[in-house]
Amino acid sequence: MLRLPFWLLLLASALTSQALPTLQPRDAYFASVRTRLTHDHGGKHRDPPDKYFHESTFHPHYDGRFAASKLPEDARKTALTALVQTYLSTMSSIGAETWIMHGSLLGWYWNRRIMPWDSDVDVQMSEEGMRELAGYYNMTVHTFDVARMEGEGKGQGRGEGKTGRRRSYMIEVNPHYTNASTADSHNVIDARWIDMETGLFIDITTLRRDREAQVKGYKGHMYSKDKHRILEDDIFPLRDSVFEGMPVKIPYAYAELLEGEYGRKALAKSSVENHRWDRERMEWVKIV
């Protein structure tokens, strides 16, 4: 572990302009990652001391170190699409094995897109992938021309704007990712892919082998720290597909997983959350 002189730690904690209850040299301080805000809107002060990630004071799906308020609905959709596109692209070039789950998988099932009423993106990662992120990519920043990606995602060719819009994303890995116990309930999220402009992020959870079950003779039992239990054969071998215009991996038994989680009717119901399914356009349309 890196040992910093005590006076430097004191200085660092003074700079964060918040009275810290204890010195926590392992935290990514607001002052060390901030982009444009002068005040931290993270909910650190009300979180338990052993919780690593802090959701913002104004909404649980935003990181308060980078944003001070929620986005309007349209801007949120655009930002969420860019978030998942840049995530998939980065993980694919890093070679970290990841796939979509839950609400994102349901969106994929209908039309290979995020459902318009979804406010987050759900992904999982293999244990090897998470070790790779933790060992070599923690706190790395990745910059993209998002206007161009948006254009490509919608199949409109190159982006509209003459000058592309650059946006930076950060990988942050929870040091508690090495604790495999679901009892570590304040740290069920192993890593985040964070949009440093809007504060939106993707929670990344590791799919772990249940070694205790293995010892008892049950093969292929897996779980994530947020207490989802899954059989290895339902996930692997992963299938190749497309999501929001980008190559993506999806679980092998996607239909069974979706039925198990949302019920059979979720795969057939054509009106939900104030939207109806338009078969011609292959799109969820808002009921007005």
Ligand X SMILES: *[C@@H]1O[C@H](CO)[C@@H](O)[C@H](O)[C@H]1NC(C)=O
The residue among 48 and 237 lying less far from ligand X, judged by its C-beta, is 48
Describe the crossing of helices 102-111 and 254-262 by its angle, rounded to 10 degrees.
120
250 token code pair: 């999806």
- Per the document, the length of the chain is 288
Side chain identity, residue 102: H
Euclidean distance between CA atoms 61 and 83, whole angstroms:
13
The residue among 66 and 108 lying less far from ligand X, judged by its C-beta, is 66
Q: How far is the CB of 134 from ligand X (least distance, A)?
A: 4
Q: How far is the CB of 98 from ligand X (least distance, A)?
A: 17
Q: How far is the CB of 212 from ligand X (least distance, A)?
A: 14
Contact residues for ligand X, defined by CB under 6 A: 26-28, 134, 138-139, 173, 175, 177, 179, 181, 183-184
The residue among 89 and 138 lying less far from ligand X, judged by its C-beta, is 138
Q: How far is the CB of 206 from ligand X (least distance, A)?
A: 12
Q: How far is the CB of 245 from ligand X (least distance, A)?
A: 30
In order of 39, 48, 171, the CA distances from 22 in angstroms are: 20, 12, 25
The residue among 27 and 261 lying less far from ligand X, judged by its C-beta, is 27
Lookup result for tokens 């910093």:
4
| Beta pairing, strands 221-223 & 229-231 | antiparallel
The residue among 41 and 51 lying less far from ligand X, judged by its C-beta, is 51
Euclidean distance between CA atoms 113 and 81, whole angstroms:
9
